Amino acid sequence: YSGTVAGAIEGTILGIPSIALSQAFGPTTRDNPSYVTAETHAPGVIRTLLGEGIPKGIVINVNFPDRPPQDVQGIAVTAQGKRDQRLMRIDERKDGRGNAYYWIAFERRVFDTVPGSDLRALDEGRISVTPLRVEQTDEPFMTRLAQVFENA
């Protein structure tokens, strides 16, 4: 997930209902992305989510497609998609003070072909709304590991 989602996760951990909002961009909009689609549609999405209520321990990830607001094809409640990790690269960049940092990027926009994913929704021009659990502990495996280390 993105740094935007990470920030919303921190808010959720602090007990604040949190929504991550991201505007998709493509090869032609990469250097000058437009946020008009997010600006147009975000208020309604946020009102709906807050009106429904966000359960404790859940963060909402909302992604807006790379198209003009009038061309958005609706809203899809989605599962978190996965990008093809073979296309991932790590770019070394410099911050304002000249310190190196690393940016995870992908060679090209490749969408998950799984129906119901956030990436598929964006590819189809829909706004994706994905509820994510903050708690990621795998209880069954935790129990198994406890037994393994008890005997180690």
Digit-coded pLDDT (tens) for 17-63 = 999 999 998 767 777 778 999 999 999 999 999 999 999 999 999 99
Q: How would residue 144 be classed by pLDDT, with cut points 50, 70 and 90? A: very high
Q: Is the pTM of this model over 0.85?
A: no
| Cα–Cα dist 9/1, whole Å | 11
The architecture in CATH of the region 3-150 reads 3-Layer(aba) Sandwich (3.40)
| Cα–Cα dist 150/152, whole Å | 6
Task: Give the pLDDT confidence score for residue 110 in this predicted structure.
Answer: 58
